[in-house]
Amino acid sequence: MKSPLVREVAYRLLLVEADTELSQALAQVLSEQGWQVTCACNRAEALKILGDTPRFDLLLVAQELPDGEGVQLVENLVLPPEPEQRTPILLLAEQEDPQLLKRCFDLGINDYLVKPINPLLIGLKARDLTNKLRLADRVIQQKQELEKLLDASNREAEMASYVFYNNLLDHVSDTIHGFNRYINASSDFCGDLVLSKNSPSGSTFILHADAMGHGLSATMTLLPLVDVFHSMVSKGYALPMIVREMNRKLHFRLPPDRFVAASVVELDVLHEQVSIWNGGMPPVYYLDSEGRVINSYPSNHMALGILDNLSFESNVERFHLVGEGGLFGCSDGLTDQVNAQGESYGNQRLLKSLEGAPRHSLMGTLVADLKEFSGVPYFDDDLSLFYVYFPELIYFQDQKYQLQGNQAHKLGIAPFIWELTLSGQQMGEQEIPALCNDYLQDMGFPQPFCQRAFTVISELSSNAIEHGLLKLKSSLKEDPEGFAEYYVLREQRLRKLTHEDQLRVRLQWQVTAERSRLFIEVEQSGEGFDFNQVMQQPREELAGRGLLLIRKLSTELMFKKQGRLAVATLE
Over residues 34-67, the pLDDT tens digits come to: 788 999 999 999 999 988 877 788 899 999 999 9
Give which of 509, 510, 535, 527 is closest to 565, Cα–Cα. Answer: 527
Residue 326 and residue 220 share a domain: yes
Give the residue-averaged pLDDT of 175-195.
82
Tell me how far CA of residue 376 lies from CA of 154, 189, 352, in angstroms: 20, 19, 21
- Identify the weakest region by mean pLDDT among 8-12, 142-146, 404-408: 404-408
pLDDT in tens, 426-465: 887 777 888 888 888 888 888 778 888 888 898 898 888 8
Q: State which of 353, 381, 398 marks the end of a domain.
A: 398
Tell me how far CA of residue 272 lies from CA of 38, 124, 394, 397, in angstroms: 51, 33, 9, 11
556: domain CATH number?
Answer: 3.30.565.10
Other beta carbons less than 10 A from residue 93's beta carbon = 20
Residue 115 and residue 183 share a domain: no
With cut-offs at 50, 70 and 90, classify the pLDDT of residue 326.
very high
Distance in angstroms (rounded) separating the CA atoms of residues 316 and 276: 5
With cut-offs at 50, 70 and 90, classify the pLDDT of residue 330.
very high
Radius of gyration of the chain (CA): 26
Position 390 in a domain: yes
Position 151 in a domain: no
Assess whether pLDDT exceeds 70 at residue 512: yes
HSE of 296 in the Cβ direction (CA atoms, 13 Å)?
14
Q: State which of 398, 416, 440 marks the end of a domain.
A: 398
Residue 182 and residue 121 share a domain: no
Give the residue-averaged pLDDT of 197-221.
82
Element (H, E) at 182: strand 179-184
Provide the mean pLDDT of the chain: 82
Position 142 in a domain: no
Residue 188 and residue 41 share a domain: no
Position 148 in a domain: no
58: domain CATH number?
Answer: 3.40.50.2300
With cut-offs at 50, 70 and 90, classify the pLDDT of residue 122.
confident
Give which of 509, 527, 528, 531 is closest to 518, Cα–Cα. Answer: 509
pLDDT in tens, 100-109: 888 888 888 8
- Residue with more model confidence, 401 or 381: 381
Q: State which of 105, 130, 155 marks the end of a domain.
A: 130
Q: Which domain holds residue 228?
A: 167-398
